[in-house]
Amino acid sequence: MNWDWSAVSDFMPDFWEGLLVTLQILVLGSLISFVLGLVWALLMRSPSRWVTWPVGAVTEFVRNTPLLVQLFFLYYVLPEWGLTFSALATGVFAIGLHYSTYTMQVYRAGIEAVPAGQWEAATALNLPLRRTWSAVILPQAVRRVVPALGNYVIAMLKDTPMLMAISVLEMLGHARLFSQEHFQFTEPLTVIGVAFIVISYLASLALRALERRLAH
């Protein structure tokens, strides 16, 4: 096996394109999973079983079926219902939805970890329920769960190549195309492997910085 630097430089233009797509999936997918996960977690606290049962069933279903199946389903079945989105948009939504079923459990733990005394103080001050959530409970809960959410961002990064299955050309997609056209596998796959490590490392640094900023 010979390492060919010229193959690396030939791959670079494709690599940058793929990197951009991977980062898009990661950033948008994370945002969706953060927001949706919080929505699920809050809905699951509803006193009504008419809310908690369907939300519990749907999220349980999504968490326990493979992301790949969900990608195919959304990509091939939604258009039959008249809903057509780009492959990237479908993929971002699917991965965000999938991970929201994990982040909801993280939020739940964070919310339950806020001491009962905080709720009691809010009641004693007559704060409305909405304000109690937004000003007292959630700021404390979210601070507690940043490290755990961060771990799911890293896990999501490693799942981004699955979007290749619905023809999204992220880093692995570009590496595969390049390899097949040039019959050079080592260089492009090594380059994207290194890129994955670098992104996770930078993401973990950013998270640690965020944790420090949120500490009080």
Partner 1 sequence: MPTDTLPNPEKNPTRSSGELIRLEQVTKRFGDHTVLDHLDFSVDAGKHVTLIGPSGSGKTTILRLLMTLTKPDEGTITVDGERLFPAPEKQVREVRKKIGMVFQQFNLFPNMTVLRNITEAPVTVLGMSKDAAEERARELLELVGLTDHLDKHPAQLSGGQQQRVAIARALAMRPQVLLLDEVTSALDPELVAGVLDVLRDIARSTDITMLCVTHEMNFARDISDQVLMFDSGRIIEAGPPEKIFSEPEKDRTREFLSAVL
The contact mask relative to partner 1 for 56-95 (x = CB under 8 A, - = no) is: ----------------------------------------
Provide the CA 68 distance to its chain's centre, in angstroms: 15
Using rule CB under 8 A, residue 135 touches partner 1: yes
Comparing CB distances to partner 1, the nearer of 24 and 118 is 118
Among the listed residues 163, 207, 184, 206, the one whose alpha carbon sits nearest the alpha carbon of residue 18: 163
Using rule CB under 8 A, residue 167 touches partner 1: no
Least distance from C-beta 133 to partner 1, angstroms? 12
Using rule CB under 8 A, residue 148 touches partner 1: no
Using rule CB under 8 A, residue 118 touches partner 1: yes
Name the segment binding partner 1 (CB under 8 A); options: 58-66, 133-141, 145-153, 167-175. Answer: 133-141
Using rule CB under 8 A, residue 124 touches partner 1: yes
Q: Which of 54, 66, 128, 193 binds partner 1 (CB under 8 A)?
A: 128
Using rule CB under 8 A, residue 143 touches partner 1: yes
Using rule CB under 8 A, residue 140 touches partner 1: yes
Using rule CB under 8 A, residue 47 touches partner 1: no
Amino acid at 122: A
**Count of Cβ atoms closer than 10 Å to residue 166 Cβ:** 17
Structure-block tokens of residue 75: 């990509």
Name the CA radius of gyration of the chain, rounded: 21
CA–CA dist 112, 30 (Å, integer) = 23
The answer to whether 172 and 196 are in contact (CB under 8 A) is no
Structure-block tokens of residue 154: 């890293």
Amino acid at 196: F
Using rule CB under 8 A, residue 126 touches partner 1: yes
CA–CA dist 121, 62 (Å, integer) = 37
Buried b (16+ CB within 10 A) or exposed e, 194-210: ebbeebeeebeeebeee
Comparing CB distances to partner 1, the nearer of 26 and 138 is 138
State the residues that interact with partner 1 by CB under 8 A: 115, 117-118, 120-121, 123-128, 131, 135-136, 139-140, 143, 216
